[in-house]
Amino acid sequence: MVKVILCGCNGKMGKAITQTALSFPNIDIVAGVDKSLNNNNLYPIFSNINEVNVAADVVLDFSRPEALDDLLGYCNKNSTPLVLCTTGYSEDQLSKISEESKAIPIFRSANMSIGVNVVNSILRNISNKLYKDFDIEIIEKHHNQKVDAPSGTALLLANTIKDSIDGEREFSYGRVGNCKREEKEIGIHAVRGGTIVGEHDVIFAGIGENIEIKHSALSREVFAAGALKACEFMKDKTPGLYNMDDMLNL
């Protein structure tokens, strides 16, 4: 049994994880952390990770970037693996995560969907073969309550493409004004509206032909299931920085 502390338990993803965990016989959510203490769950809720008095095997975070310092401090103090599913971290925070992974096991992914990470693996294999003859554009769509743009997943895919290409490439975030597209651009465009769970389109536009790779999340359950599988994967891991590629062995 993997005992989990769920941070952000009363948010949309936290509620989805709580519900999805019912179908994971090897997962037991033993405590939650949230600013909202409304509790319709079977586990106790605390307003701060440092108040938690319940032992756990893994801490799972789906909250906000500003919670990072407390999470790292708690996991370091208690030698507990940490699964980070939150997006929108600053460069300083990403450096801190990397440094702390020398002391504790940390799993971080911008997207917990297995399908998105398979797409990411495909892009790693094909981008260098296509970039000379195809313009590359990424379009991401999310609900109107999402606070960060572009999405962490769009940046994950864009960085994979950029890192896979031998030539120079730079990101272009949306377009405005009168100017032609530059050859070295990787365009990234964010759409926000309604209740869109998450869609990502990667377009390779060539002369007379287009290649499109698309992933659509139909419900939050896909991210919840991936996060819980990550918790199972991280139990008893040694210190280091892990991601979906490690879990899926891509």
Locate the domains of the chain by residue range. Answer: 2-112+220-248, 114-217
Q: Given this model, what pLDDT does residue 88 score?
A: 85
The answer on whether 20 is annotated among ligand-binding residues is: no
Q: Given this model, what pLDDT does residue 196 score?
A: 96
Q: Given this model, what pLDDT does residue 239 score?
A: 98
Q: Given this model, what pLDDT does residue 177 score?
A: 87
Q: Which of 142, 200, 215, 229 is catalytic?
A: 142
Q: Given this model, what pLDDT does residue 166 score?
A: 93
The answer on whether 198 is annotated among ligand-binding residues is: no
Are 89 and 33 in contact by the 8 Å Cβ rule? The answer is no
Q: Given this model, what pLDDT does residue 40 score?
A: 81
Structural tokens at position 234 = 């991280």
Q: Is 189 a residue of the active site?
A: no
User: Measuring CA to CA, which residue among 200, 128, 119, 202 is closest to residue 162?
Assistant: 128
Q: Given this model, what pLDDT does residue 178 score?
A: 86
Q: Given this model, what pLDDT does residue 223 score?
A: 92
The answer on whether 85 is annotated among ligand-binding residues is: yes
The answer on whether 111 is annotated among ligand-binding residues is: yes
Q: Is 146 a residue of the active site?
A: yes
The answer on whether 11 is annotated among ligand-binding residues is: yes
Q: Given this model, what pLDDT does residue 226 score?
A: 95
The answer on whether 8 is annotated among ligand-binding residues is: yes
The answer on whether 201 is annotated among ligand-binding residues is: no
User: Measuring CA to CA, which residue among 197, 50, 172 is closest to residue 112?
Assistant: 197
The answer on whether 70 is annotated among ligand-binding residues is: no
User: Measuring CA to CA, which residue among 54, 42, 156 is closest to residue 109?
Assistant: 156
The answer on whether 7 is annotated among ligand-binding residues is: no
- How many Cβ atoms sit within 10 Å of the Cβ of residue 68? 22
Q: Which CATH number fits domain 114-217: 3.20.20.80, 3.40.50.300, 3.30.420.10, 3.30.360.10?
A: 3.30.360.10
Burial call 152-178: b when 16+ CB within 10 Å, e when fewer: bbbbbbbebbbebbeeebebeeeeeee
Q: Which of 3, 96, 146, 235 is catalytic?
A: 146
- How many Cβ atoms sit within 10 Å of the Cβ of residue 237? 15
Q: The domain at 2-112+220-248 falls in which architecture? A: 3-Layer(aba) Sandwich (3.40)
Q: Given this model, what pLDDT does residue 110 score?
A: 82
Can you list the residues of the chain whose pLDDT is less than 70? 250
Q: Do the domains 2-112+220-248 and 114-217 sit in the same CATH topology, yes or no?
A: no
Q: Given this model, what pLDDT does residue 141 score?
A: 98
Are 121 and 109 in contact by the 8 Å Cβ rule? The answer is no
